[in-house]
Amino acid sequence: MVKEISGNDFDAMVLKAGRPVLVDFWAPWCGPCRAISPVIEALSGEMGEKLDFYKLNVDDSPSIPGSFGIRSIPTIIVFRKGKVAGQITGNVAKSNLKDMIETALNEEV
């Protein structure tokens, strides 16, 4: 299950998390964001034991994506130990997103 977070929750829920976290940076007006949302939801069901899944609305918390150099949405980032471990932008295939997640979980941070 993908949970909505805000900029106020970001440090505690993402950067200080005890396990890996995926964050979907999105906006309600973004067609590709809405298109990839079911894919991320499906992956949360398949991979929820390995990492937490969150969504952050970039319109509500613009400083957070800015601090990671995000210029396009959807951008999906996997964080491990408070650092970016993997990142992908756009409405990508489920297999590409899953590969990025698996690589991020196995890379040294």
Could you tell me how far CA 14 lies from the centroid of its own chain?
A: 10
Residue 13 Cα distances to 4, 5, 9, angstroms: 11, 8, 6
Active site residue 35: no
Of 2, 22, 30, 51, the active-site residue reads: 30
Of 57, 100, 96, 94, nearest to 78 (Cα)?
Answer: 100
Catalytic choice (5, 14, 21, 33): 33
- State yes or no: is 33 an active-site residue: yes
Q: What residues act catalytically?
A: 30, 33
